[in-house]
Structure 1
Amino acid sequence: MLSTGALIWISVKPLLKMALTTAFGIFLTKKDLFGGVAAKGTGQIILNITLPALLFSKVVPSFTSDNIRALGPLILIGSLYQLFGFLFALLVRQFFWVPHRFRYGILAAGTWGNWGDIPTAVIMSITSAAPFNGQKDSDLAVAYVSIFILVFYITLFPLGGHLLIGKDFKGPDFTDDEVRESFPTKVRKTGRQLAQLPVTLASLVRGRRASSPSPTDVEKQLETVNEKLAAEKPQQTRESTVVADSETPIFSAAPTVISEPSAPTTNTTGVKLTRTVTFHPEAEDAAVDSERPPYAATIGSTRTAVPEDSDPQTDKVPLSESGLGQQEPTRFQRVLSFLRTLNTPPTITIFISFPVALIPQLKALFVQSNATPSLQSISHSAPDGMPPLAFILDTASFIGAASVPLGLVLLGSALARLNVPKPWTRLPLGAIGWFTVAKLFLMPILGVAMCAFFTTTVKIINSEDKVLRFVCIFFSSVPTATSQVFITQLHSPDGNAEHLAAFLVPQYALMFLSMTTLNAYALHLLYP
């Protein structure tokens, strides 16, 4: 049994090594010695060369027919961590105000953690020394980490997770003062929304669409209201901005227009709709109280159907910009698009590495095998007595060794470039604080309980595989992925990610405390 001091030292030592390496990236960036172009080039080197080499060099020798059963639990644990991270972020957004341009970014920040450089650096260091079995356990740990990396890439890109970040920058902008709400106000709104939930569910059961109705539904609503107004006010002045082909007029319910007109668009039924959006004071008050229906179908000289989100901070997106009337991609096109997004070096490497690791004849070309005489002849066929393709594995190990240090330097550079908005009192401190608590403290508690459940109750995690158990527990403690910074800057019109920076800095500052505590507890749990 390890002493408390030994547990703490084993837990904190790899974090100190990681912090020093990350500090070099911060220092070089602050001194203008590691500019944006250099950081981008380094990222391309990691993504296309060093990370695939590292994964190949660890997966091929480590995975066997005996431990391949860990593949399912790893995918399950990774998916559950993303699901619970999303739910935690959703709760924080529900009860605390967040900036309008970060209302979806906070969901992405909760879902995708830093599953690359930080886990690889820390887990490799811890599992390579006692009480683990040295290099063998270290290689196996990185092989297990590769499954989390695979889940990360598939959910972020092929499954469209990155599009969630892009939704922050669609539609008009709102200032912080316009969306800022106190905690009691958010609680009252949540209570009203929960009270309306049975009605919403009942309408869904009856087959009503609670989100985006079709253009035909909108047109029917417009025609119904138009007929009613025409019957009540036959002498009212007719409007000409929105007309049908039959010259049937549509009357304006309110003349106030707070928008700029743009080119009209025509749907398949021939009804011409403009791209402008008109807001009435009554509708704005209702939006603040979250009482407005999913579609504000109104009439007027420049009114159109406006899709709304359930969140009171959502955009007012014009009909013609919402994708209605556009041709839907075919199933084949969707499958082809999905396959194209899998075309990244890390994912391709993982897909290649597993067949090589699990097919004995292929594995014998890279790794020495003593299983059967036929495999021995293959694995000793080179002039030096090594497998014929062992030099490829050696080269991958040599190149892959640079992946973790470069990744940590790049992490430091990304942190150094973050610009936190000032003054601090204007920041959503409630959302930042509770999001940090949920990500670094509540998630590890949930991760330990979940891994214990899958180990002792469901028994899909082998209790004797201590490396697997440690890897699964560790991934519950990682902060938000810094790759979200680059994705946010890509979608942002001005290339700014200041709202994300305010949520990232506290996580990476407190990460050392939460990780040290969790690592010490995990080691005590595995080696009592």
Structure 2
Amino acid sequence: MTDTNVVLGSVIYLAVKPIFKIYMIIAIGFYLARRNILTVETSRNMSTVAMMVFLPALVFAKIVSNIDNGDIKEIGTIALEAVFVIIIQGLLTFLFGVLAGCPKNWYGGLLSCGMFANISDIPIAYLQSMEKSNMIPNVDKGVSYICIYLCMQIIAQFNLGGFKLIELDFRNEIKKRNNDTEANQRIKSDENATSDASNLTQTEMVNGSSGSDSHDPNPENFKVESHSDLESESPMSLLSLNSDESHSIAEPSSLNYSTSAKQRKDTQLSRHPSIATSLFNNNLQNAPSETIKDVVRAYSRYNQLVENEVVNAQESDGSKAKPKINMARIISGIKRYGKAMISFIITSTLKPMSISLIASITVSMIPWVKALFVTTHQAHLSSAPDGMPPLSFIMDFASYVGNAQVPLGLILLGGTIGRLQVNHMNAKIWKVPIFITLFKLCIFPVIGCAVNSKVSKDGLFYNEDVLYFVSNINYCLPPATALLYLTAIYIPPDQDDAFQMDMLALVYIAHYMLLIVCLPFVTSYTIKVSLGY
């Protein structure tokens, strides 16, 4: 706390100013997506780079530089706050959505919107923009706190399987498609059996024998090959796309020439385009902008899910045919399930983000190990010839690479918003996105600030103003962008529109329209009232 008295107008200006920078970067991503420069394929590859390189580097650089074993109690507070936000906000958002008339086939998406927020790029960019104001001390340490919040959410969403909530909205549709597939299989088997029987009868009539030596009377067996078991896949691999699936996400109309390849080559040579034109132009810029349909085509794993459902149904039918309960089989099933869960957790833990978090916490908690990377008052080691710690070059690398995460993340966010569209929306349904947006950005921040006021009075922020500030603004954030791509996994790639995508589009649009007002309001309250400026 501080006794400095700052004019309210200055506080409001300080709270609003970072929003302009954030929305300008988002606007760049929006423009690039509308011009097909930032395509779905490009965005997907850049997101992979961000998750595998930039974000782990940012986490390592900020935590090792600003956290030590004296901050364990602050990490405990962050863990409690994160659990409270995920559980309570998720349940209350679900309640508000149900009261607003949310259909049952979006309950999983509704709960996910409440539980998982965009807790990385927006709060980090917002906090870093306030570094020169001198009102929020230790901004870099605040960024490390945000990174810990982010890691807590990743653990809940991916390592603990929270991403599976979205699958609940599509279970009935997948089962229906499974039943249709099984019906088609039976019809095909009956047709094959009839055809084989007819051929067999004709052969017997011609040859006067059964023909058992030269004909197979059994109908052709239908076999479904499962390319991958999504239940045992690591969560982030669900967002992957096979190389043979990534072609022709959007075919630009400008490439549909009626001329031959030789004529096109002659035409290009006759134009003699400049080097600058060749470098900064691409054929997709003249094509219609990619939309959410292209996102679905790129990320959808619907056909695989249906195939796996067919295989599981066949195995289930086989087990139901046996009347007696076999305890050995039950125990074997439990063991297989346990091994699958352990394998799932291990696979998730071996992701770059999890490795970075474990490594950074381990290094920061051991003084003599931390002294290898950064200067610390808790331990002293001989310096390198340049007077810096021996492994300072690793920190230079992590800081330099990690700094690209926030602007890149905001550009990708803008690209995602640029592809949003609402195809068909019942007049009664629009209330759901409006209700949950008003709750998440207007009502829940009030609840959060009240809770944090109690936490501060109990001394659990340990006089860390930046921790108080970060904890307050984390109650006023839009849903995580990853929900859009997780939803696309369960939609058929040839489907023109999906109700769940329409709901998400409305939720994102409403949140980012209202965020420009609500986040500065929460910030102004935090600085003026909570921190006492």
CA deviation map 1:338-365 (0-9, x unaligned) = 2222222122111100121121111111
Contact 2:30 2:415 in 1 (8 A): yes
CA deviation map 1:430-451 (0-9, x unaligned) = 2122111111111100110111
Q: How far apart are the structure 2 equivalents of 1:395 and 1:448?
A: 37
Deviation at 1:127, TM superposition (A): 4.2
Contact 1:53 1:400 in 2 (8 A): yes
Q: How far apart are the structure 1 equivalents of 2:34 and 2:510?
A: 19
Q: How far apart are the structure 2 equivalents of 1:419 and 1:170?
A: 24
- Say whether 1:327 aligns with 2:333: yes
Q: How far apart are the structure 2 equivalents of 1:88 and 1:398?
A: 40
What are the equivalent positions in structure 2 for 1:173-322 lying under 5 Å apart? 265-268=317-320, 270=322
Paired residue secondary structure (2:474): helix
Q: How far apart are the structure 2 equivalents of 1:409 and 1:396?
A: 21
Paired residue secondary structure (2:125): helix
Structure showing the higher helix proportion among its residues: 2
Contact 2:433 2:503 in 1 (8 A): no
Across the aligned residues of Structure 1 and Structure 2, the Cα RMSD in angstroms comes to 2.4
Unpaired stretches in structure 1, ≥5 consecutive residues: 175-261, 273-323
Q: How far apart are the structure 1 equivalents of 2:153 and 2:469?
A: 19
Deviation at 1:471, TM superposition (A): 0.7
- Residue number among 353, 357, 368 corresponding to 1:361 in the alignment: 368
Q: How far apart are the structure 2 equivalents of 1:172 and 1:384?
A: 64
CA deviation map 1:38-85 (0-9, x unaligned) = 101110111111111111111111002332210111011011011112
Amino acid at match of 1:466: D
Contact 1:26 1:413 in 2 (8 A): yes
Poorly superposed stretches of 4+, deviation over 4 Å: none
Contact 2:25 2:407 in 1 (8 A): yes
Amino acid at match of 1:58: K
- Residue number among 339, 345, 350 corresponding to 2:346 in the alignment: 339
Amino acid at match of 1:439: K
Paired residue secondary structure (2:322): coil
Q: 1:68 is matched with which residue?
A: 72
Q: How far apart are the structure 2 equivalents of 1:2 and 1:66?
A: 31
Deviation at 1:493, TM superposition (A): 2.1
Amino acid at match of 1:348: I
What are the equivalent positions in structure 2 for 1:25-40 lying under 5 Å apart? 25-40=29-44
Paired residue secondary structure (2:172): coil
Contact 2:97 2:436 in 1 (8 A): no
Contact 1:46 1:403 in 2 (8 A): yes
Q: 1:438 is matched with which residue?
A: 439
Deviation at 1:459, TM superposition (A): 2.9
Contact 2:348 2:354 in 1 (8 A): no
TM-score, L = length of structure 2: 0.67
Amino acid at match of 1:435: I
Contact 1:127 1:141 in 2 (8 A): no
User: Cα–Cα, structure 1 residues 168 and 350, in superposed 2: closer, same or farther, change >3 Å?
Assistant: same
CA deviation map 1:105-155 (0-9, x unaligned) = 11111110111111111122224531133xxx1210111011111111110
Q: 1:156 is matched with which residue?
A: 157
Contact 1:52 1:346 in 2 (8 A): yes
Deviation at 1:452, TM superposition (A): 0.9
Amino acid at match of 1:353: S
Q: How far apart are the structure 2 equivalents of 1:130 and 1:101?
A: 48
Q: How far apart are the structure 1 equivalents of 2:39 and 2:431?
A: 34
Q: 2:469 is matched with which residue?
A: 470
- Say whether 1:518 aligns with 2:518: no
Paired residue secondary structure (1:265): helix
Q: 1:351 is matched with which residue?
A: 358
Q: 1:527 is matched with which residue?
A: 532
Q: How far apart are the structure 2 equivalents of 1:327 and 1:426?
A: 47
TM-score, L = length of structure 1: 0.68
What are the equivalent positions in structure 2 for 1:473-492 lying under 5 Å apart? 473-492=472-491
User: Cα–Cα, structure 1 residues 451 and 127, in superposed 2: closer, same or farther, change >3 Å?
Assistant: farther
CA deviation map 1:298-349 (0-9, x unaligned) = xxxxxxxxxxxxxxxxxxxxxxxxxx99934343442232222222212211
Contact 1:421 1:427 in 2 (8 A): no
Contact 1:89 1:435 in 2 (8 A): yes
Q: 2:300 is matched with which residue?
A: none
Q: How far apart are the structure 2 equivalents of 1:523 and 1:339?
A: 42
Q: Which has the higher contact order (CA 8 A, sep 6+)?
A: 2
Aligned length, in residue pairs: 379
Contact 1:421 1:502 in 2 (8 A): no
Q: 1:317 is matched with which residue?
A: none
- Say whether 1:96 aligns with 2:100: yes
Q: 2:243 is matched with which residue?
A: none
- Residue number among 390, 393, 402 corresponding to 2:392 in the alignment: 390
Deviation at 1:370, TM superposition (A): 4.8
Q: 2:135 is matched with which residue?
A: 131
CA deviation map 1:157-216 (0-9, x unaligned) = 111101000111111499xxxxxxxxxxxxxxxxxxxxxxxxxxxxxxxxxxxxxxxxxx
- Say whether 1:171 aligns with 2:178: no
Q: What is the aligned-residue identity percentage? A: 27
Q: 2:211 is matched with which residue?
A: none
Q: How far apart are the structure 1 equivalents of 2:164 and 2:376?
A: 46
Q: How far apart are the structure 2 equivalents of 1:332 and 1:461?
A: 40
Q: 2:228 is matched with which residue?
A: none
Contact 1:100 1:173 in 2 (8 A): no
Contact 1:119 1:475 in 2 (8 A): yes
Amino acid at match of 1:488: T
Q: How far apart are the structure 2 equivalents of 1:427 and 1:109?
A: 20
Contact 2:349 2:355 in 1 (8 A): yes
Paired residue secondary structure (1:355): helix
Q: 1:406 is matched with which residue?
A: 408
- Say whether 1:460 aligns with 2:455: no
CA deviation map 1:378-407 (0-9, x unaligned) = 2x2x11111111111011111111110000
User: Cα–Cα, structure 1 residues 68 and 359, in superposed 2: closer, same or farther, change >3 Å?
Assistant: same
Contact 1:101 1:173 in 2 (8 A): no
Q: How far apart are the structure 2 equivalents of 1:267 and 1:391?
A: 59
User: Cα–Cα, structure 1 residues 128 and 396, in superposed 2: closer, same or farther, change >3 Å?
Assistant: farther
Deviation at 1:269, TM superposition (A): 6.5
What are the equivalent positions in structure 2 for 1:14-29 lying under 5 Å apart? 14-29=18-33
Q: How far apart are the structure 1 equivalents of 2:76 and 2:359?
A: 18
Paired residue secondary structure (1:104): helix
Q: How far apart are the structure 1 equivalents of 2:486 and 2:110?
A: 13
Amino acid at match of 1:440: L
Contact 2:97 2:435 in 1 (8 A): no
Q: How far apart are the structure 1 equivalents of 2:35 and 2:522?
A: 35
